[in-house]
Amino acid sequence: MDKLSDKADTKNIKAIRLINITDGKCDFESGTIPIRQHINANYFFAQTDVSLQYSPHAAPRRQYVITLKGKLKFTVSNGQSFILEPGIILIAADTFGEGHTWEILDGEEWERIYIPLEDGADDHFTAV
């Protein structure tokens, strides 16, 4: 279920990136982003809305999703799944097609911050 390794260290933060693949499907890859890396973004916003839980959807834009509270199971449209919780950065880059679903595993809330990436900006993700 979980492709994320324990290879994050003191210079990197664990990350998972949602990506588009063939036939409008979505997959994910595990990796890291470097700490103290400047993110080229103009704004961020917080959200606790859980109305999209269980609803297949693509990301509305490329963005970092920083989980503050909650443990979730994400399932991508190719059938694979992973666990997301505080300490793992999600990079939502599945901006078209079937997208992904998520469900809360622990509690009833998902507190998160979205940091939209500017068009063409590097997400600084390195696959492991």
Burial class (CB in 10 A: 0-12, 13-18, 19+), 71: middle
Position 19 confidence tier, pLDDT thresholds 50, 70, 90? very high
- Separation between Cα atoms, residue 2 and residue 19, nearest integer Å: 16
User: CA–CA distance from 64 to each of 2, 23, 44, 46, 79 (Å)?
Assistant: 19, 24, 9, 12, 22
- 12-35+45-125 classified as CATH 1.10.730: no
Instruction: Yes or no: say if 93 and 17 are a contact pair by the CB < 8 Å rule.
Output: yes
Residue 21 has pLDDT above 70, yes or no: yes
What single-letter DSSP state applies at residue 77? T
Position 8 confidence tier, pLDDT thresholds 50, 70, 90? low
> Is 0.85 surpassed by the pTM of this model?
yes
